[in-house]
Structure 1
């Protein structure tokens, strides 16, 4: 777990003092719904994946590898839902929009990241 303050491109991630509490909240809000993923409609799945991705990135629990782990987690969740893994090349091509979508999630505005998820889900 990260024990130092960390930011990227002028954006500060969650204080390390808040990580443990917020990881527990993340587990309760998102990971606890793992077995319900196959029952979700496509739009419910898009919202779930988008929100869980943003919330994990905002917590940013590790010094390195948060992006890779968050994508691996999305692939795992998406596979459980029966949709297989995702192709993130579109996100890589539009990094600025992706970063702004993550930042919008601070205010629980998930519409932009939902658009990105919708664009890559099979």
Structure 2
């Protein structure tokens, strides 16, 4: 394996970078070489995808692993040829390894039979139960990290859809930056021990922020 930035990857298609991007932009269908431009395009596509996903999924929908694939594909399909497909490379962030690539199909099936079946549709009426449901699904999906890129944003799209099922407005994750991003990653790591309390605290804060924004 070769180490590129924060991630360890092998020389598969997911690991290829766009020529002329100096190893900063993954090979893409648009030929984009600038990281700033790619960040902008991905953000725009994410907004488009969210609008489409809201039309697709209603309050009674139980999410499955097929839906997770679909969310990723709808968002990044116009950009990457491998969108919606499980990664075939192993990923790590710093010294923290995500699930091995060859374990992803099994782990995603466990996610479907466990948290997704237990917590979706997310129609709980008590806020603590809503937060718990979103936090568990979010943490477990991020620990698997099933895709080459965009796992965090895919998990956040799913969290938004679950929140909408519970009657909340679309979640605003704008507060997760700087030091809060470190807390966010620590909350993901805590999930290895089935400790979801740190992620629940973060989602409580996200929901409070979202409600303040929508009450203005």
Q: Same fold (TM over 0.5)?
A: yes
- TM-score w.r.t. length of structure 2: 0.54
Q: Secondary structure at the match of 2:146?
A: coil
Q: 2:183 aligns with which of 92, 97, 114?
A: 97
Matched, 1:109 2:189: no
Structure 1 segments, 4+ long, off by >3 Å, are: none
Instruction: Say what the alpha-carbon RMSD is for the aligned residues.
Output: 1.3
- My pick for the range that moved more, 106-115 or 39-48, is 39-48
The residue number in structure 1 matching 2:156 is 71
Aligned length: 121
Higher RCO, 1 or 2 (CA under 8 Å, sep at least 6)? 1
Of structures 1 and 2, the larger Rg is shown by 2
Q: Secondary structure at the match of 2:123?
A: helix
- TM-score w.r.t. length of structure 1: 0.92
Gaps of 5+ in 2: 1-85, 212-216
Q: Quick check: which one's helix share is greater?
A: 1
Gaps of 5+ in 1: none
The residue number in structure 2 matching 1:2 is 87
